[in-house]
Structure 1
Amino acid sequence: MPFLRVALFSAAASSAALPRGPSPPSSPLEAVSVVDYLIDSFGFSQEEAARVSRRLNRLKAPRNPESVLAFLKGKGVSEAAVREAVSRRPTLLYVDVEKTLAPKFRAFEEMGFSGTDLLRTLGRNSSFLHYSLEKKLMPNISLLQRECGISGRRIFKVLKRSSRLVGRSTSSLKDLIRRVRELGFSHGSVAFETGLHVADSLSQSSVTEKLAFLQSLGWTEEETLRAVRRYPLILGLSEKKLKDSMQFFVGKIGCDASYLAANAILLTFSIEKRVKPRYRVYQTLQLMKVPEGGWSLLSLFSVSESVFLNRFVLKYVDRHPELREAYDSAGFGTKLHVSLG
């Protein structure tokens, strides 16, 4: 029973606080009790419970798991959501309900979010639980809403993706927002939000150096800024990745540098695993004079693998068996055979 498991945890925690000699190794019974508790309370499989328990066994035993579960249940959080959160962040069972969980849930509920919303965020990124509501969370969330136009459910996306933004000092966050504005991102756009995350992971000097490097590859200053505004994640790519991609698209495929600036997402795709194989199939279609239906290079490389397979291979392979060899040589023979049945 869960109550018995908690009693075992509490006894272990209390006895650990008493003066004693060298601690004996953890007994098998203690480890088993944690696993059994996780199975009984959350419906974990034996394997899942053993994995989660390893993270709990490294710490002192949870003192109030039942109070955490009761609180979440009272907030209408489903058992499935609780299980997922505990699986991702077992230390959620250690959180003090009155001092930490309740105040933060109350604050976010007042903003219109449900308990399940918050718990899912905690399951992915629990560090913001440790931030002060008054000194960091609420002032910084207000700043993101006011200065960046990030509001509604997008605030939760920010927390899920990186809690570091709301964990900054207010002055530091203001400086970060200023840096993103200087790159020309539109207020309230999704790109502004992505720009914040990218800038949060890079220093000002790193951004400046990356912009200069992009210009050295053949883009004008305006093209560089336009590319960054359309796809901020290119700032996080290594110089080698950017150089190799530019060389292949410009030197092998014959793309204009300006076209790549307008479609910078192309530079993020793997040259070996996506671009070269797909281009090889595309070349085969051209040699066979098969009309490609007016698809652009952007569409060719950005669609999912299943769409590419259906659109460029399976549609023509009966009439043009050569495509099988082209696709096989591209390293996707297994997928083709499965699709052909």
Structure 2
Amino acid sequence: MFGFLSSRQLLFVTNRRRTQLGLLQKNAFFIIQSFTSVGCLSESEFENEPERNHFTVSYLVKSCGLSSKSALLASNKVHFQNPDRPDSVLSLLKENGFDNTQITKIIRSRPTLLLADPENTLLPKIQFFRSIGVSGSDLPRILTISPDLLRRSLTNHLIPCYDFLKSVLLENEKVITTMKRSQRAFLCDVTNVMAPNVALLRELGAPQSAISLLVTHSPSMAFITHAKFVKAVQEVKELGFDPSKALFVQAIQAVLKLKKPMWESKFEIFRRWGWSEADTLLAFKKHPICMLLSEEKITKAMEFLVSKLGFSSKSIAKNPVVLNLSLEKRIIPRCSVVQILLAKDLVKNDLSLATFLLPTEKYFLEKFVIRFQDNVPQLLSVYQNKMELLDVEIQSEKALGKVIPTRHGLSGEQLPLQQKQWRIGHELLPTEKRFLEKFVIRFQDDVPQLLSVYQNKMDLSDVQFQSEEVGETELL
């Protein structure tokens, strides 16, 4: 058990605070006046209010910043005729970095805290949170969100919670991170709720790093009832996940968060992009978090990678982690750089998504930017979004920007280019010579006007099609 306060230390703190509070109470008027009253009660608002509540309501409005309506509601939970105890509580909060807005929120939510013993009840808890590493700026924010932390027993609840979380996460910093993400970690009964779930994961052989990840990043999942947790674990095992791998815990997280209708909805979203059920399950097994992404995020990534760049949607199922990347901060900047390098034949034309989207920032800069600075001086500016891609001079590779999209032809139907595993450099950004040979000259007999269309000498709508099927078999 965490024993940061010995009886001797607690006695010292108590005596010291009583002396300080004695001085503060003499000047309570000046401290309380720092609050801006949001308005006084009208006579009509007092008409039906019991006389014993008049002082309480007035205090809540003038000293705590509550609205008249909130004060009336709060007075049903707390009553006092003497301001000494509430003044001491407010003074203690302000001394420990709480601003007026935060104090108002706390009192509005938990007005009974005004009658708590500031010396023996509130102060030791604040000191405890500070002692485990909660910063001065974080503590008021955390306690404002979850004021019930100040009502939990220090000895019987808060310290045991900390001790248990420390035994699971091993590092104090991770305990603080967990607390910031979800104050529930210090509010729930960890012995009866979280402990059985952690024990089950350990029994199945889940690595410590995976357990820490679950508790730190999704504490609400770790605090799910044991029966639901067991059911989720069983489902994940049946899907073929290995408990000894970190993906096992990520899959549990996804299964617990997604209810059946939402799960089916995600399958439908991917189905619209050409994924079979097997493709979606493959993606889930490779990167379970992909099932937790919003429809908007999935659609934007697919539209860019599939519709604009021409990647096969099924190739993304094999690298689903790319869907989780930021489109604006990672995917577009890196694709812009690779487009230039491919157009200049500086890199191989069979690059896969994982080759340039998944590496670290340092690796990408070294391998794809700095390495080619002499060849393309503007490369870093393009990557940093300081220069448009079209402003980069591509001397002989004029195919850049002239590639017909592989999706949505004349009829809006998917074009036959999509039937292959297309890569950004292989079909979308070849050199001028390669593009002409592979996509124009090769089909001159079938579509005589193709060269004129490519050279902008003829509008696509002027091309004569002999049958409706040409759009499916011959048009590129």
TM-score of the superposition, structure 1-length normalised? 0.72
Aligned length: 312
Pick one of 101, 117, 139 that aligns with 1:86.
Answer: 139
Query: Which amino acid counterpart does residue 194 of structure 1 have in structure 2?
Result: Q
Match of 1:21 in 2: 54
Residue 70 of structure 1 deviates from its aligned partner by: 5.5
1:126 offset after TM fit, Å?
1.8
Residue 199 of structure 1 aligns with which residue? 255
CA distance in 1, matches of 2:165, 2:326: 40
Q: Please give the secondary structure, in 2, of the residue aligned with 1:21.
A: helix
Distance 2:173 2:339 in 1: 50
Partner in structure 1 of residue 179 of structure 2: 122
Q: Which SS does the other structure have where 1:208 is aligned?
A: helix
Q: Which residue of 2 aligns with 1:169?
A: 225
CA contact (8 A) 2:182 2:220 kept: no
Q: Residue 97 in 1 paired to residue 130 in 2? A: no
Distance in 2 (CA, whole Å) between partners of 1:133 and 1:184 is 29
Distance 1:122 1:270, change over 3 A: closer
The structural deviation recorded for 1:260 is 1.5
Hey, what does 1:45 align to over in structure 2? none
Counterpart residue identity of residue 290, structure 1: L
CA-CA distance at 1:265 after TM superposition: 1.2
For 2:152, give the aligned amino acid: V
Shift of residue 155 of structure 1? 3.6
Once residues 115 and 27 of structure 1 are traced to their aligned partners in structure 2, the CA distance between those partners, rounded to angstroms, is 37
Are residues 311 and 233 of structure 1, via their aligned partners in 2, closer, same or farther at CA, if it must alter by over 3 Å? same
1:89 aligned counterpart, secondary structure: helix
Distance 1:134 1:219, change over 3 A: same
- Is the deviation greater in 122-131 or in 18-27? 18-27
Contact 1:85 1:122 in 2 (8 A): no
The aligned counterpart of 2:270 is: 214
Q: Please say if residues 162 and 186 of structure 2, whose CA atoms lie closer than 8 Å, have aligned partners that are also in contact.
A: no
Q: CA deviation at 1:203?
A: 0.3
CA apart distance, 1:108: 5.1
* Cα deviation digits, residues 103-162 of structure 1 (max 9, x gap): 334555676847665455333322133323454233333233335x34646444323223
Change (3 A) 1:257 1:3: same
More displaced, 319-328 or 297-306?
A: 319-328
1:38 to 87, 93, 96: 96
Instruction: Give the stretch that moved more between structures: 168-177 or 105-114.
Output: 105-114
1:266 positional shift: 1.6
- Report if the CA contact (8 A) 1:52-1:87 is conserved: yes
Consecutive unaligned residues in structure 2, runs of 5 or more: 1-15, 29-50, 65-86, 388-476
- 1:140 and 1:244 mapped to 2: Cα distance? 36
Per-residue deviation, 1:174: 1.9
Name the CA shift for 1:236/1:296 in 2 (closer, same or farther; >3 Å): same
Q: For residues 208 and 83 of structure 1, what CA distance do their matches in structure 2 show?
A: 45
Aligned AA (1:99): N
2:100 and 2:92 mapped to 1: Cα distance? 8
1:259/1:109 CA distance change after superposition, 3 Å: closer
Q: 1:239 is matched with which residue?
A: 295
Contact 1:269 / 1:275 at 8 angstroms: preserved in 2?
yes
Please name the residue that 1:337 is paired with: none
What is the identity, as a one-letter code, of the residue corresponding to 1:38?
N
Which amino acid in the other structure matches residue 250 of structure 2? T
Which amino acid in 2 is paired with 1:21?
A: H
Report the Cα offset of residue 35 of structure 1: 5.5
Deviation readout 1:269-291 (Å, 9 max, x if unpaired):
34455333332232222233333
Find the counterpart in structure 2 of residue 15 from structure 1: none
Equivalents in 1 of 2:103, 2:247: separation in Å?
Answer: 40
TM-score w.r.t. structure 2 length? 0.54
In the aligned structure 1, how far is the partner of 2:268 from the partner of 2:124?
Answer: 55
SS of the equivalent of 2:301 reads: helix
Is the 1:121–1:159 contact (alpha carbons within 8 Å) kept by the matching residues of 2? yes
Shift of 1:21: 1.7
Specify the code of the residue in structure 2 equivalent to 1:185. F
Which deviates more, 89-98 or 110-119? 110-119
AA aligned to 1:161 is H
Query: CA 1:150–1:324 in structure 2 vs 1: closer, same or farther (change >3 Å)?
Result: closer
For residues 162 and 224 of structure 1, what CA distance do their matches in structure 2 show? 23
Name which of structure 1's ranges 235-244 and 223-232 shifts more when overlaid on structure 2: 235-244
Residues 19 and 177 of structure 1, relative CA distance in 2, 3 Å threshold: farther
The corresponding residue for 1:339 is none
- Contact 2:194 / 2:224 at 8 angstroms: preserved in 1? no
Mapped partners of 2:127, 2:383: distance in 1: 55
Q: Sequence identity of aligned pairs in percent?
A: 22
8 Å contact kept, 2:305–2:311 = yes
C-alpha RMSD of matched pairs (Å): 4.0
Aligned position for 2:345: 289
Q: 2:335 corresponds to which letter in structure 1?
A: Y
Q: Specify the code of the residue in structure 2 equivalent to 1:199.
A: V
- Aligned partner of 2:124: which letter? S
Deviation at 1:38, TM superposition (A): 0.9
